[in-house]
Amino acid sequence: MNVGVAHSEVNPNTQVMNSRGMWLTYALGVGMLHIVLLSIPFFSVPVAWTLTNVIHNLGMYVFLHAVKGTPFETPDQGKARLLTHWEQLDYGVQFTSSRKFFTISPIILYFLASFYTKYDPTHFILNTVSLLTVLIPKLPQLHGVRIFGINKY
Amino acid sequence: INHIVHNGGLYKRPFNEAFEETPMLVAVLTYVGYGVLTLFGYLRDFMRQWKIEKCQNATEREEQKDFVPLYQDFENFYNRNLYMRIRDSWNRPICSVPGAKVDMMERVSHDYNWTFTYTGRVIKGIINMGSYNYLGFAQKEGTCQEAAAKVLSQYGAGVCSTRQEMGNLDKHEELEKLVARFLGVESAMTYGMGFATNSMNIPALVGKGCLILSDELNHASLVLGARLSGATIRIFKHNNMQSLEKLLKDAIVHGQPRTRRPWKKILILVEGIYSMEGSIVRLPEVIALKKKYKSYLYLDEAHSIGALGPSGRGVVDYFGLNPEDVDVMMGTFTKSFGAAGGYIGGKKELIDYLRTYSHSAVYATSMSPPVVEQIITSMKCIMGEDGTTVGKARVQQLAENTRYFRRRLKEMGFIIYGNEDSPVVPLMLYMPAKIGAFGREMLKRNIGVVVVGFPATPIIESRARFCLSAAHTKEMLDT
C-alpha cells in the first residue's frame, strides 16, 4: 500500500475533487437521489424536493466537514490528520474551482427546492437551516475552526 | 493527446508519446465504483463496531481503550476495506529465478484474503511480465553466473565494511572504471543500493539556499533525497518543457523567496524512463534549457540504462546526445544488469567530492563481490567486449519486443500510456474491480503482472504495468 508512489502528490485527497468527471458524477448522483425519492408514492413533489435538499446537505456535511484525515496513510507525516476533507482540498488554497462548485451546488438545490415547495413556511425553515449548516463551514474564515471544541481530535 | 514536438530541430528521431485522456463514461463509472466501495466500507465498519461482524484487524487491548489512541483508525479505512479484498494480487511468493518464466507458490485464502495458506503446489512456468528484467540477465546459467560463482568462492559473499574503511576492493575499482567507460563520462562511483544512491547523494550535492526543480512523477528516492537536502523544491508538470522554462525564468528573475538573493545552485531532477507512465524524458530540450539558464541536470536512468539506445547506453544514446552535457548521470544496476546497486557518473572533480562527502560512501557497506562480478560480466556483454554479439542481440531483441507488443496491444484496442519505444507498458484499467479481476485472470492464464491503483496513482488512472524483456520470445508475447 504505497501512497504517492507514481506521483509526488503528498496527499491525493486534495486532488480527488479536481479529477476529470468528478463533478459530472456528483451531479448525476444528486439527480439519481432525487429520482429515487420522487418515485416513492408517499411523498408529494414538495416533500421530495425538501428531502433531496436535506439528505444532500446532510451527506455533504458528513463527508466534507465532519470526517477528518485521509483513508490511507500519507507521507506528509500527519499534517492532514486533523483537517476535514474540505480543508484539505487543494492544500488549503481558497476559492479554487472545486471549492466554488461545491459552494454553488447546495445553493442551486436550495433555489430549486424553494421553487417547487411554493415557498411554504415549514419547508422554507427546514431548507434554510440545512443550507446554513452546509454553507457556513465553507467560509474561508472558518478554515480550521472548531466551535465549542466539537470534532477537534 | 499526441504531443507535437515544438523544438523539432533538436530531435533526430520521431518522438511519439501519447497519454490518452480517460473516457468520461469510464471516469463516471470508476467514481461510482469507489463510492459504492466506500459506502460498503462504512457499513462493514459499523457492523464491526457493533460486534455483528468479527474485527480481524489488530485492536488495542481492553485495558488500553481509555488511553490516547496511537493510530487514527480512519487512516486504515482504505487498507481494511478496499486493499484487503484484492490483496492476493500483490506480495506473491516466487520460488525460482525471476527470468522470462518464474515459478510461484500457490496460495488460497478461506477468509477473504485476511490470511493466506499455502496449498503446497508450485505453479511452474508463469510468464513474467512484472520483473524489471529488460535485457534478460536474470538467469541461472550462462557466463555471468559462472563468473559470479567463481568470484564468490574467491572473495566470499560479504564485504563487512564501508567504502572508506576496509571495503574498497579491487573489483570495485575495476567496476567503476568500466561504468565510466560504458557511459562515456570521466569517472563513476558505485553504491550498494539503488534507492540509497539517490537519497544519500542529493543531500551531498545541494543544500539550503539551492533550488531543486523536479518532475511531477519522480520516484520516491528522488523525492526523499530532495527533501533531506533542505533545498527549496519546485515541481514542474510531467515532461512539460514550457512549465520547466517558466519555473526557471521565475527562479532566476526573482531569486530566493524572501531575500531575493540569487540561488546558489539550480538542479533539475528528471528520470530517463518513468516507471509508472512509460514516458521518456525530452532530453534534448532539457539540455537546451539547462545550457540557456545555466543550471545543473541530474538524470536518473534507473529504467533506461541498458534498455534504450542502439547500443544500450541509455537515454543519452537514444537521443544521440553528448554524455558530457548531463552533469550527474545516475542509474541502477537492478533493472537491466540483473544485479543490485546504483552508480553516479560525471566529471572527475564531482566524483572525487562524492567519494568523501556522500553518506553512503561513509556509512553504508559497499557492494558484495559476486554482485560486482555480475555487473562487470553483463556490462562487458552489452558493450560487446567479451567477443560475442550476445549483448547487441539482446538490445535489439528488446527493441523488437517493445514495438511488437505495443503495436499488438493497440490493435486489440487497449489504452496504452507512454512513449512508443519504452519497454515499460502501462495498460489502463480504470475501475477498482478490474484491478483485482485482471490480476487474478492473468494468473489463471499463467502470466504474472503488476497492477496498481489508487492511491498510488491518481484516482481515475489505475493501471497494469507490463515490463518487457529481451528474454521474452514472440510466442510468449502472443499468449
What ranges do the domains of chain A cover?
A: 14-144
Q: Which three cell numbers stand for residue B225?
A: 533525497
> Which among A6, A29, A71 has the least Cβ separation from residue B75?
A71
Helices and strands counted in chain B (H then E) = 15, 15
Q: A91: how many CB neighbours lie within 10 A of its CB?
A: 16
In a domain, B44, yes or no: yes
Amino acid at B336: S
Among B331, B353, B383, the domain-final residue is B383
User: How does DSSP assign A84-131, residue by residue?
Assistant: BHHHHGGGG-SS-HHHHHHHHHHHHHHHHHHHHTTT-HHHHHHHHHHH
Query: How many domains does the structure of chain B reveal?
Result: 2
Cell of B265: 545552485
> What does the pLDDT read at residue B6?
52
What whole-number distance in Å separates Cα of residue B137 and Cα of residue B397? Answer: 13
Testing the interface with A: which of B38, B42, B72 to mutate, by most A Cβ within 10 A? B72
Query: In B210-263, which ranges are continuous DSSP H helix?
Result: 220-229, 241-254
Mean pLDDT over each residue of chain B, to the nearest integer: 83
Q: Could you count the other beta carbons within 10 Å of the beta carbon of residue B212? A: 25
8 Å CB contact between B234 and B211: yes
- Amino acid identity of residue B460, one-letter, is I
Residues B198 and B272 occupy one common structural domain: yes
- Do B329 and B278 lie in one domain? The reply is yes
Instruction: Give per-residue burial for B180-201: e unless 16+ CB within 10 Å, then b.
Output: bebbebebbbbbbbbbbbbbbb
pLDDT tens digits along B159-170: 888 888 878 888
Instruction: Based on the fold, state whether residues B229 and B284 are members of the same structural domain.
Output: yes
Which element (helix H / strand E) includes B103?
A: strand B101-108
Q: Find out whether A23 and A41 touch, Cβ atoms under 8 Å.
A: no
Q: Is A39 left (phi over 0), alpha (psi -120 to 50) or beta?
A: alpha
Q: Which residues in B lie closer than 8 A to residue A68 (C-beta atoms)?
A: 74
| Cβ atoms B102, B126 nearer than 8 A | yes
Residue B94 lies in a domain: yes
Evaluate whether ipTM surpasses 0.90: no
Cα B412 from chain centre = 27
User: Parallel, antiparallel, or unpaired for β B117-128 and B101-108?
Assistant: antiparallel
Q: What gap in Å lies between CA B464 and CA A114, rounded to an integer? A: 48
The continuous run of DSSP H or E covering B143 comes out as: helix B143-155
Nearest chain A residue (CA) to B26: A21
B457–A70: do the CB atoms touch at under 8 Å? no
- Of B362, B383, B404, which residue sits at a domain end? B383
Identify the domain boundary among B327, B354, B383.
Answer: B383
A12 in contact with chain B, both atoms CB, cutoff 8 A: yes
**Statement: residue B8 has pLDDT above 60:** no
Instruction: Return the higher-pLDDT residue of B15 and B153.
Output: B153
**A9 contacts in chain B (CB < 8 Å):** 458
Q: What is the pTM of this model?
A: 0.83
Mark whether B258 and B290 lie in a shared domain: yes
Q: Provide the domain limits for residue B378.
A: 143-383
Considering CB atoms only, which of A5, A21, A68 is closest to B28? A21
Count CB atoms within 10 A of the CB of residue A101.
15
* Cβ contact A112:A49 at 8 Å: yes
Q: Is position B134 within any domain? A: no
Q: Given a cut of 70, is residue B43 above it in pLDDT?
A: yes
In order of A8, B203, B224, B296, B433, the CA distances from B198 in angstroms are: 15, 9, 8, 16, 35
Work out the percent of chain B whose per-residue pLDDT is above 70: 94
Least confident of A117-131, B274-288, B452-466: B452-466
- Same domain? For B36 and B123 the reply is yes
pLDDT of residue B23: 82
Task: Tell me the chain B residues in contact with residue A28 when contact means C-beta distances shorter than 8 Å.
Answer: 28
